A = this chain, B = another copy of it.
Amino acid sequence: MMKLEDIAKLAGVSHSTVSRALAGSTLVNRATRERIEAIANDHGYMVNQVARNLKLQHTNTIGLIAPELSNPYYPKLIQCIADYVSAAGYSLQLHLSGKNQENEDKSLVNLRNNRVDGILLVTGEHGLMASEYAAGLHKSGIPIVLMGWFPGADAFDFVTGDDADGARQIARHLLDLGHKNIAVIGKPVHRGPFDRTTAFINEIAQGGLVIDAGNCYEITSEQDAILAVKQLLQTEPRPTAIFAYQDSIALVVCKELQAAGIRVPDDISVIGFDDLDMASYVSPALTTVGCHIDAMAKALVQRLTERITGETAAAEPVGVVVPTRLITRQSSGPAHDISS
């Protein structure tokens, strides 16, 4: 592959001059520059970024670590991130951690060795697993911005949806609909101030209702969700509404309910969280809480690039919380007492 030296020889100048010419420096005579440009063009010269990166001590690359792509939420987010990253002039190095500690570490090491300029860390449902290692990297000067919140996240810049507020909106919606016996299907995660189920339960309590412990199902898989539904259908009095902590779970809940002959929302209302595209396609269309993913992606890469360019290098970590909103569709309706 053509290199600077080759073009220099062809043009009868030194490689320094070629380098300057191609960079558009004013230090080279206009005629010379144009001649060099022509030659470079004719021979299809393209700068070797890896040499350039070595000399310049940066790579114009951003590392992105995400858990997986099978939950449609992530592709949506990554699509936006990729667009903003490329608009900002960076390349994207993508690593899928597969929700597993070892991989998250490996990705971090890899990204660091490759000297990416900064890292975007999308934490899985369990929060950041490589937290300790990430903190080390971060302290050593590599800009890292987190998507999501978990205990310890405050050491980083982070961006998250206002999940707690979304959960509260759901709670009020259900209360308004007259539901008194509500079940919660959630994961045993603890996202502190941003925890969905905690906020939900608290808001319901604000309304003067307490959610029976027996109506709180902690699940860790779709299998569990199915089991939870089966159990729930046997309890007396049977709940008239279910809050599932994410759409993908709400979807299997609806499916299972319908398979058991229960009508949604006539018999039981179901509400999810995330506003997946799919949520509007299923029948009944899912009531859920959405967040402007685009806004989050934008904040994410903006924050990171600012850190990289040093605009905000010294500043304290900041967290940005983007609002969520309730999207009322067909899976939720007025409570009908069917305990009899």
Contacts and interface: CB of A to CB of B under 8 A. Distances in A.
Contact of A79 (B44, B96, B113): B96
Contact of A282 (B53, B68, B86, B281): B281
A93 interface: yes
A72 interface: yes
Contacts of A76: 69-70
A283 interface: yes
A91 B64 CA distance: 12
A192 interface: no
Interface string A1-27: 100000000000000000000000000
A69 B59 contact: no
Nearest to A285: B255
Contact of A281 (B1, B96, B255): B255
Copies held by the complex: 2
A93 B91 contact: yes
Interface residues of A, number: 46
A47 interface: yes
Interface string A99-138: 0000000000110111100000000000000000000000
Interface string A269-289: 000000001100111000000
A37 B76 CA distance: 43
Interface of A: 1, 44, 46-51, 53-54, 59, 61, 64, 68-70, 72, 74-76, 78-79, 82-83, 86, 91-96, 98, 109-110, 112-115, 140, 251, 255, 277-278, 281-283
19 contacts: A44-B140, A48-B54, A50-B53, A51-B54, A54-B54, A61-B93, A69-B79, A70-B75, A70-B79, A70-B277, A82-B94, A83-B98, A86-B95, A93-B94, A94-B94, A255-B281, A278-B281, A282-B283, A283-B283
Q: Which 4 A-B pairs have the closest CB atoms?
A: A75-B75, A69-B79, A69-B75, A283-B283
